[in-house]
Amino acid sequence: MVNFASIVASLALATAVSATLSPTDPGPTTVWSPGKQYPILWIDDNVAPLVTAAWKKMTIDFMTGDNLNQVQLTTVATGVDASKVSSYTWTCPTVSPPSQIYFFRFSAGDGTNFAWTTRFTITGIDGVSTVPPPNTTQPDGQKIGWGIGAISNSVAPSGSVASSATASGSVAVASSTAASSAPASGPTPANATSGSAANAIDSASTPNTIPTVAVKPNSAGRVAIGVSSFVCAVVLAMLMV
């Protein structure tokens, strides 16, 4: 019997490409405190397709979860022209638990180019207290801490594109309608991650859980995939055998 997840994982690894957008901050040693504003930074890694070509309507999402089942807590911003700006300032929300289980996902809007920050730490409302990630091992066996966090309503996240950059068009600052609690079922979040691509499709995902195909935060500061349409065709062909 054909193992669907294994096929997709192999094909995704074989067709992975650079995201061209390389997140630089927050990183694995970054610590944020609720209510304070912090920059989210990125650069062009100069690998085709360049940021100037593919990242003119970028979306930034605030994430948690493990590497194979990432959970979107809220959308930070949409319509960011990453070809003209290289940072976005966001007010850190109050989260539970305060731990190193949060990260940002960047999507170019074309369905094929993504990038991730590493997992970073958000403290408690006192700006000091933290707890270790609830889990120490990823579902695929990697010794990488993770957990599923949630945003509370104590601090309403807000953000803006850096005023020093010149941007064309508008940037939508997403409202902070984040889940007040973690999904009732499903995997728990991750902290630091490795650079290899991972892949899985979880048919029993909860509403806020996003099954991922060869995507995960990377300890080097970025992860990228480009799964082209021919991959889907190959997968379907193999399943019909």
Residue 2 included in any domain: no
Residues of the chain with pLDDT under 50: 2, 4-18, 163-173, 175-209, 211-214, 219-237, 239
User: In the prediction, which pLDDT does 10 show?
Assistant: 37
User: In the prediction, which pLDDT does 84 show?
Assistant: 94
**Cα(156)–Cα(62) distance, integer angstroms:** 13
Cα Rg, the chain, nearest whole Å: 17
Pairing of strands 121-122, 87-91: unpaired
Structural domain harbouring 88: 17-228
**Cα(59)–Cα(82) distance, integer angstroms:** 10
Residue 222 included in any domain: yes
Residue 135 included in any domain: yes
Residue 35 included in any domain: yes
- Please name the residue that has the structure tokens 């003209």: 84
Residue 183 included in any domain: yes
- Please name the residue that has the structure tokens 């694995």: 28
Report if pTM > 0.75. no
Surface-to-core class of residue 30, CB atoms within 10 Å of its CB (0-12 exposed, 13-18 middle, 19+ buried): middle
Name the residue among 93, 97, 86, 104 with its Cα closest to residue 45: 86
- pLDDT per residue over 177-213, tens digit each? 333 333 333 333 333 333 333 333 232 333 344 544 4
Residue 31 included in any domain: yes
User: In the prediction, which pLDDT does 228 show?
Assistant: 41
Residue 172 included in any domain: yes
Residue 1 included in any domain: no
Count of structural domains within the chain: 1
